[in-house]
A and B are shown apart, each in its own frame.
Chain A
């Protein structure tokens, strides 16, 4: 692979794997799996896989991993080290987003896999080839969501050093509170896109707990691709046009 690409990828991995971020991320993941085990013992826990992970755990983890990709560089005045190098801006943006997807996406996918297996076992299903396939599909869906959220939050990080606060408002106000009041917002919600895709690629009979209305899966797929296709070029454009401190 290209030396510049791997260098920025490795640098970004180092930047976003600070002790506090890792503690928060693995704390959230441990909480997710613990909650799944606990609820499975007393009830149906598939809602955790279908609702809690895509709408809360995944965006929160992407928020703490992806916003600092650029906002920390801007705040700590290190971005010039990259922008004063003879490299096109996409070669800065792509490896950074890939680093966020690697750091946040892989543990999330593993946790989603484990939580799905746990939840499905609790429904009276043994760990079979079918449930493993379901868990694998859920994990892949979560990875799609991680790519969307990472691209969005990385772009937010190019706009402001307060991107975490804006991201928290987006997750809890836009995606949760407002979406509950205004059903039409499901067409502008990454987590709803993700839930829709998850319902589409899974056996619908396995996930019966959720009654949440989501957009159709074709819309959700196109919208997810659109989020990445819009926010990544916007990050590149922003890097080209910003005054770097």
Chain B
């Protein structure tokens, strides 16, 4: 059975749903960031699959994937710096205990 666009899109959907579950169900802020990285990777798979199967001559999807990776790198750097700063002042990275801005 040949591998088609749908196989890649369904793989991407599975990885994205796993990431959504991780974001909603985890307590540790670092674990939530790891789940977000899984979601961004799933989107990248969909982008590259569209680029390969729908517009193979243009490579636009791969260019978008590069931009997504850049933003993901920036997000990881800033997110982890924020987590370390919060840990330094509150000695926890449990998102249920970080409720300073909740009312």
- Determine if chain A interacts with chain B: no
Residues on B facing A (Cβ under 8 Å): none
